[in-house]
Amino acid sequence: GQNIDQPTEMTATEGAIVQINCTYQTSGFNGLFWYQQHAGEAPTFLSYNVLDGLEEKGRFSSFLSRSKGYSYLLLKELQMKDSASYLCVKYSSASKIIFGSGTRLSIRP
């Protein structure tokens, strides 16, 4: 199938590091997006991985292993405003973009 699996909820402490994992079916894979979505708002783009390895962008990094069908989003120096849902999204083609159900991240002081 085209399922994307990511944890439903995670909790972390302000200032700490958290890693959100995502696994997906490898067939038809052409890219992996991560989006952030605050409650009641639209998703906003965080990162896009096409090749294996780590992409770093400020406090956020995203990793991809195409052979394993695995990605993670790493958030460092957590801030309260990072409390949000994080969506793992597999891109196969313009007509085949599959969204995970999202990981709701709660940051505690």
Partner 1 sequence: DVKVTQSSRYLVKRTGEKVFLECVQDMDHENMFWYRQDPGLGLRLIYFSYDVKMKEKGDIPEGYSVSREKKERFSLILESASTNQTSMYLCASTQGNEKLLFGSGTQLSVL
Could you say which residues in the range 17-36 bind partner 1, by CB under 8 A?
30-31, 33, 35
Q: In a 3-state reduction of DSSP, which class is residue 80?
A: helix
Q: Decide if residue 94 touches partner 1 (CB under 8 A).
A: yes
- H/E stretch holding 12 reads strand 9-13
DSSP code per residue over 20-75: EEEEE--TT--EEEEEEE-TTS--EEEEEE-SSEEEEETTEEEEEETTTTEEEEEE
State the minimum distance, in angstroms, from the CB of residue 45 to partner 1: 4
Which of residues 11 and 44 has its CB atom nearest to partner 1 in the complex? 44
* Part of the chain binding partner 1 (CB under 8 A), chosen from 16-24, 55-63, 70-78, 83-91: 83-91
Q: Which of 13, 26, 44, 79 binds partner 1 (CB under 8 A)?
A: 44
